[in-house]
Amino acid sequence: MEDCIFCKIVAGEIPGEVVHATERTVAFRDLNPQAPTHVLVVPRRHFANAAELAAGDPEASAELLTTAAAVAADEGHDDYRLVFNTGAGVGQTVFHTHLHLLAGRPMTWPPG
């Protein structure tokens, strides 16, 4: 997708603070962090949301979770929250699948 900011970060066309990368995923710090650790984990291939990714590339879908766990461990966190937003009505603003890894502060339930 030509106008997708996450595709551009994955391709190295615009800077992002990449903290972890695999064959299928890239993890980088969120520009507007909501916790001391706030990392976005994205598939290298473009899919609009988590449901599209799961249907189109189940291996990459699973790898988002293992990448997030690796990042949490690297950052020293045993406790963390993972969030997918799927659709504008729940807060998705970039329509490239991304998993939010949040850690480093107490979190309440229910969120938002």
Residue 81 and residue 47 in contact, taking contact as beta carbons nearer than 8 Å: no
Among 38, 96, 98, 100, the active-site one is 98
Q: Could you give the angle at the alpha carbon of 39 between the alpha carbons of 44 and 66, nearest 5°?
A: 60
DSSP state of 41: E
38 is catalytic: no
Residue 33 and residue 75 in contact, taking contact as beta carbons nearer than 8 Å: no
Which residues are marked as active site? 98
